[in-house]
Amino acid sequence: MAPVDRLGQQLAFLREVEKLKSVYRSTPLADGSRKENSGEHSWTLALYALVLADQAGPDVDVAKAVRMLLIHDLVEIDVGDVPLHSQNGLAHGAADIVLAEAAAAKRIFGLLPPDLAQEMLETWHEFEDAQTPTARYAKSLDRVQPPVLNMLGDGGSWLEYDVTLEQIDTRIAPKVALTLPNVWQRVRAEIAQWFSAHGRI
């Protein structure tokens, strides 16, 4: 039996995840030149986790949150991005999407050597389940970054999907306010100011 080529598996995974840079999200870049890709989104969230670490609770493992955020959207290589405010029939969090993402996680992380595959798969599931303080911290950052980018881009995907302030309060606030109350209070005030300035309240 041929020995397992550990380095070959690691490099195969790294080649595969380059594809995340070709998955485009609904939110445009701040300069409006194009849509943000999922690789850029993940990198930005890792920075959010580091910079906002003083807002995290005492039980949050910030280094693990960074790992979660770097890998959380790798499943989009197979499934694509499903926007939170999507109106095209795809429901964010729908059972078929959840199953497709789980299958994608198993395939993509399965490219790695078994020990790394298990570690990353467990980390991905912890993020998705959002039951630990670290996962809730990471999830909150994942929810708060798109509104910040939309404000920088003068509305961005809010205009494309005709998003209301009420939808933001329903779909985003519960995920963020409980875990990052100070961050949400500040960002929510800025969001309300944007909607008011654009006559959308």
The 10s digit of each residue's pLDDT in 171-188 is 999 989 999 999 999 999
Tokens of 20: 């995340």
| Residue 36 confidence (pLDDT) | 97
Over its C-alpha atoms, the chain yields an Rg (Å, rounded) of 18
Query: Which amino acid appears at position 70 of this protein?
Result: L
Q: What is the CATH number of the domain that holds 50?
A: 1.10.3210.10
The 10s digit of each residue's pLDDT in 18-42 is 999 999 999 999 999 999 999 999 9
> In the chain, what is the greatest distance between 2 CA atoms, to the nearest angstrom?
69
The 10s digit of each residue's pLDDT in 43-89 is 999 999 999 999 999 999 999 999 999 999 999 999 999 887 765 44
Tokens of 56: 């995290």
| Residue 89 confidence (pLDDT) | 47
| Residue 178 confidence (pLDDT) | 93
| Residue 87 confidence (pLDDT) | 53
Rounded CA separation 192/190 (Å)? 5
Q: Classify residue 1: in a domain, yes or no.
A: no
Q: Classify residue 136: in a domain, yes or no.
A: yes
Number of domains in the chain: 1
Q: Classify residue 177: in a domain, yes or no.
A: yes
Q: Is the pLDDT of residue 201 over 80?
A: no
Measured in whole angstroms, the distance separating CA 70 from the mean position of its chain's CA atoms is 9
Q: Rounded mean pLDDT of the chain?
A: 94
Over residues 144-158, mean pLDDT: 95
Over residues 131-145, mean pLDDT: 98
Q: Is the pLDDT of residue 124 over 80?
A: yes
**27 phi and psi angles, rounded to 5 deg:** -85, 125
| Residue 94 confidence (pLDDT) | 80
Give 35's strand partners: 28
What is the pLDDT confidence band of residue 92, given thresholds at 50, 70 and 90? low
| Residue 200 confidence (pLDDT) | 85
Rounded CA separation 14/112 (Å)? 9
User: What residues make up the domain containing 59?
Assistant: 6-197
